[in-house]
Amino acid sequence: MKTFPKFVPTPTPKVAHGRGSWVTDQDGNRVIDGSGGPAVYCLGHGDPRINEAIMAQLNQIAQGYRRFYTSDPLEQLEAFIRDRCGGGLTEILINSSGSEAVESCLKVALQYQQAIGQTDRTRFIARMRSYHGNTLGALSVSGYPMRRAAFEDSLLPVSFVSPASEYRPPEGVEPDQLVKFLANELEDEILRLGPETVCAFIFEPVVGAAGCVVPPPAGYAQAIQAVCQKYGVLLISDEVMSGAGRTGTWRALEPDQVVPDIMSVAKGLGGGYLPLAATVYQKKIGDVLTKKDGGLMSGHTFTAHTAACAAALKVQQIIQEENLLERVQSKGAWLGQSLKDALSDHPHVGDVRGRGFFWGVELVADKATKRPFARDLMIAERLGQTLREEGLLLYPVSGFGTAQAGDGVIIAPAYNAEDEVLEQIVGRTKRSIENLFG
Ligand SMILES: Cc1ncc(COP(=O)(O)O)c(C=O)c1O
């Protein structure tokens, strides 16, 4: 195997401007944004229609504080989310970040269990190789050792079960037994803790940064929902990264025909034009909270920020008017197949997996054993740099293989990225991987 010199990160350039899928830095370097940053910019950059919607709102008022006012953008955005979610998911709290959205998901669950008299149900179960956010509650339920390490002793007690990965299943588990194994494992953990102590199970329907994009095996979400329902455990779907159309359906759990009790959605909801996220939950939960406590006890100063709502509303209207979710489905299948055709034969490409416009390329030292590279080789970061030299930004991720190793990149183009841009993403990714290992 090639020996790599010591990794020296290049300085982070200053951004100048972005249009569509292209971003230019202050030195004039123009690159394709092939991952929408961390899977955020679902309509690319600089769309004048969204900028105008924001300006129009700013010219009226930036924010009507939520305890004093509601607003058209807020109410229209909420109606849109309700309509898109369906299945009784009618209650909405608009936040400013994915971590805030997840934090509120946890609080909805805790407050609900208290309100129905299940006062011992304070414990969460989550999965290894998951990421739910940076605040202490959201980090507590994140199975991401690298991001937890410095704070480990101050986090909430949380149980972790196995990730639902077909590429890296638990040892000795055959593919046709995977879903059954994972459902049994969750049930065993609930029983071990005592069902009367378990508040909720939280998971990413399609794992993002913590797994380098991991769609679940067929039937997984239904199987774990059945276990949760059996024991009165709430199901929280964290769709911060995978939701709002990224995987080809508005809710990432739609293909699994599962409606969660509570969910978070963020990045693609506002497309990164202004910070925005949402916590969405079942009407039956909302009714209980209203009756017992007068409503959900969560929220921040910038909750339901009016200009951010105007931006997200416009983003969602454009996606709807231009049938972009259909495009993500049809072109996503093309993108996935093209990435597999271009990359799968490479000796260090272990797996290419994903759904819609959300794909992960996992790099391995040994393809036969799936052994990851040693982390100190910084392969993901090196590839990120090589890609940039090739004029392509992808999202490097690490730490999801075995132990704390594992390297890969996430591909998450804008839903309206032109065919030519998608072709360039495939071609430049292939060339960069060849250059890195050549
Ligand atoms: C699945 C998931 N949940 C939560 C978060 C946290 O979101 P934020 O970084 O906006 O706080 C992220 C961020 O990447 C995420 O991918």
Beta carbons of 178 and 166 less than 8 angstroms apart: yes
Cα of 277 from ligand 1 centre, angstroms: 10
Beta carbons of 205 and 239 less than 8 angstroms apart: yes
Would you give the distance in Å from CA 240 to the centre of its chain?
Answer: 4
Percent of the chain clearing pLDDT 70 (strictly above): 100
Residues in the ligand 1 pocket, defined by CB under 6 Å: 38, 97-99, 102, 131-134, 204, 208-209, 238, 240-241, 266
The residue whose CA is least distant from atom 9 of ligand 1 is 98
pLDDT computed for residue 146 by the predictor: 86
pLDDT 10s digits, 223-270: 999 999 999 999 999 999 999 999 999 999 999 999 999 999 999 999
Fold of 15-33+323-437: Aspartate Aminotransferase, domain 1 (3.90.1150)
Percent of the chain clearing pLDDT 90 (strictly above): 97
H or E segment at 335? helix 324-343
Fold of 51-321: Aspartate Aminotransferase; domain 2 (3.40.640)
Please tell me what DSSP assigns to residue 10.
P
pLDDT computed for residue 194 by the predictor: 98
Cα of 35 from ligand 1 centre, angstroms: 15
Q: What number does the ligand 1 atom closest to the CA of 38 have?
A: 14
Instruction: For residues 117 and 232, give the distance between their C-alpha atoms in angstroms, rounded to a whole number.
Output: 12
Pocket-testing residue among 35, 129, 131, ligand 1, by greatest number of atoms within 8 A of Cβ = 131
- Averaged pLDDT, 369-383: 95
Would you give the distance in Å from CA 339 to the centre of its chain?
Answer: 21
Cα of 399 from ligand 1 centre, angstroms: 16
Detail the DSSP E strand segments found in 271-424: 277-282, 349-355, 358-363, 392-393, 395-398, 407-411
Q: Where are the domains of the chain?
A: 15-33+323-437, 51-321
- Averaged pLDDT, 341-363: 98
Alpha-carbon Rg of the chain, whole angstroms?
21
pLDDT 10s digits, 85-104: 999 999 999 999 999 999 99
The residue whose CA is least distant from atom 8 of ligand 1 is 98
pLDDT computed for residue 385 by the predictor: 97
| pLDDT at residue 402 tops 80 | no
Are 15-33+323-437 and 51-321 the same fold in CATH? no
Cα of 28 from ligand 1 centre, angstroms: 31
Q: What number does the ligand 1 atom closest to the CA of 207 have?
A: 1
Instruction: Output the CA–CA distances (angstroms, integers) from residue 128 to 46, 148, 183, 400, in the order listed.
Output: 37, 12, 15, 9
Instruction: For residues 361 and 344, give the distance between their C-alpha atoms in angstroms, rounded to a whole number.
Output: 9
pLDDT 10s digits, 136-189: 999 999 999 989 999 999 999 999 999 999 999 999 999 999 999 999 999 999
Q: Is 356 left (phi over 0), alpha (psi -120 to 50) or beta?
A: left
Instruction: For residues 64 and 277, give the distance between their C-alpha atoms in angstroms, rounded to a whole number.
Output: 17
Cα of 27 from ligand 1 centre, angstroms: 30
Pocket-testing residue among 132, 147, 203, ligand 1, by greatest number of atoms within 8 A of Cβ = 132
Q: What number does the ligand 1 atom closest to the CA of 242 have?
A: 1
Sheet holding 262-265, edge to edge: 89-95, 277-282, 262-265, 234-239, 198-203, 123-127, 158-161
| pLDDT at residue 403 tops 80 | no
pLDDT 10s digits, 61-83: 999 999 999 999 999 999 999 99
Q: What number does the ligand 1 atom closest to the CA of 134 have?
A: 11
Instruction: For residues 299 and 91, give the distance between their C-alpha atoms in angstroms, rounded to a whole number.
Output: 14
Instruction: For residues 16 and 38, give the distance between their C-alpha atoms in angstroms, rounded to a whole number.
Output: 19
Pocket-testing residue among 97, 241, 267, ligand 1, by greatest number of atoms within 8 A of Cβ = 241
H or E segment at 203? strand 198-203
Instruction: For residues 316 and 284, give the distance between their C-alpha atoms in angstroms, rounded to a whole number.
Output: 26
| pLDDT at residue 291 tops 80 | yes
Instruction: For residues 438 and 435, give the distance between their C-alpha atoms in angstroms, rounded to a whole number.
Output: 5
The residue whose CA is least distant from atom 16 of ligand 1 is 241
| pLDDT at residue 401 tops 80 | no
